[in-house]
Amino acid sequence: MTKENKVTITALFSSPRKASNSTALAKEMIRGAVDGGADVATFDLNRMEIRACRACYACKTGDHVCTIQDDMQEIYPALIAADAWIMATPIYWFTVSAQLKLLMDRMFALYNQDLLKSHFRNKKIAAAIAYGCEDPIESGCGNAIRTFQDMASYTGAELAGVVHGRGVTAEGRDPAVDGYLVPGSVAADAELMTKALQLGRHLLE
Ligand SMILES: Cc1cc2nc3c(=O)[nH]c(=O)nc-3n(C[C@H](O)[C@H](O)[C@H](O)COP(=O)(O)O)c2cc1C
């Protein structure tokens, strides 16, 4: 909570697509949270320079900070200050996007084996996941959910909820172009969008 007792949320979008389904789900969560009075900061990871963790372990000594000077230095304070994190990802090769995984690895700097000193402590995490397969199990969505679950249980954070879905066109199917699926819009799935809105609101409880 901030001084004004407002719940603060940091939302991380990781799709490179403008008409992103995972971002649309996350934005609906944000709408639910803002309606309830939350302050939300958003970061579009695909447009930021985030280098890979170099396993130097500098973050585990001294000031316990990451020494890589890139855009993560802008995101770290927002992650630390927030009460909750919204993480949005498309499924790429049966798990989270590389854009989000880069950030997750760098979040190692926020972890402390003494969970009382860990910046993950008491954080709520809500995930928004989009995939192309009709079957969520075949899509690899379960692997991404498992990653969020394990991250939360290892660090002392709380996985507050997950919304996931497949973008569908108005006709209820994905059109195939040159053998590739063109993602439709999750916005066509009213039930899913309501779930996202409610999860956003739930982050304030
Ligand atoms: C590189 C790449 C890998 C993908 N891998 C999968 C996959 O393993 N399983 C799946 O169901 N969809 C896969 N997709 C489809 C996307 O998950 C799907 O289009 C999703 O809706 C995109 O989310 P976005 O709209 O937020 O970008 C892949 C797409 C790309 C571009």
Give tens-digit pLDDT for 99-147: 999 999 999 999 998 888 899 999 999 999 999 888 899 999 999 999 9
Nearest-atom number in ligand 1 for the CA of 166 is 21
Q: Give the chain's residues under pLDDT 70.
A: 1-3, 168-183
Q: Supply the pLDDT for residue 177.
A: 42
Predicted structure pTM score: 0.94
The residue type of 176 is: A
Q: Supply the pLDDT for residue 124.
A: 98
Q: Supply the pLDDT for residue 176.
A: 46
Is residue 198 in a domain? yes
- Find where tokens 């700097």 sit: 109
Look at residue 138 and give its three-state secondary structure. Answer: helix
Answer yes or no: is the C-beta of 89 below 6 A from any ligand 1 atom: no
CATH number at residue 120: 3.40.50.360
Nearest-atom number in ligand 1 for the CA of 20 is 25
Is residue 92 in a domain? yes
Q: Supply the pLDDT for residue 188.
A: 83
| Structural domain containing residue 94 | 8-202
Answer yes or no: is the C-beta of 147 below 6 A from any ligand 1 atom: no
Number of domains in the chain: 1
Neighbours of 9 (CB within 10 A): 25
Answer yes or no: is the C-beta of 17 below 6 A from any ligand 1 atom: yes
Q: How far apart are CA 97 and CA 50, in angstroms?
A: 13
Is residue 1 in a domain? no
Q: Supply the pLDDT for residue 175.
A: 46
Distance 59 CA to ligand 1 centre (A): 33
Is residue 131 in a domain? yes
- Find where tokens 């956003």 sit: 200
The residue type of 200 is: G
Is residue 36 in a domain? yes
Neighbours of 61 (CB within 10 A): 9
Q: How far apart are CA 77 and CA 33, in angstroms?
A: 20
Distance 33 CA to ligand 1 centre (A): 27
Nearest CA to ligand 1 atom 17: 131
Q: How far apart are CA 64 and CA 58, in angstroms?
A: 7
Q: Supply the pLDDT for residue 3.
A: 52
Is residue 3 in a domain? no
Find out whether 54 and 102 touch, Cβ atoms under 8 Å: no
Write the CA distances from 205 to 105, 148, 202, integer angstroms.
Answer: 28, 20, 5
Nearest CA to ligand 1 atom 9: 139
Query: What DSSP string describes 15-53?
Result: -S-TT-HHHHHHHHHHHHHHHTT-EEEEEEGGGS--PPP
Answer yes or no: is the C-beta of 200 below 6 A from any ligand 1 atom: no
Q: Supply the pLDDT for residue 115.
A: 86
Q: Which residues pair with 46 in a beta bridge?
A: none
What are residue 178's phi and psi, to 5 degrees?
A: 50, 35
Is residue 111 in a domain? yes
The residue type of 118 is: S
Distance 92 CA to ligand 1 centre (A): 5
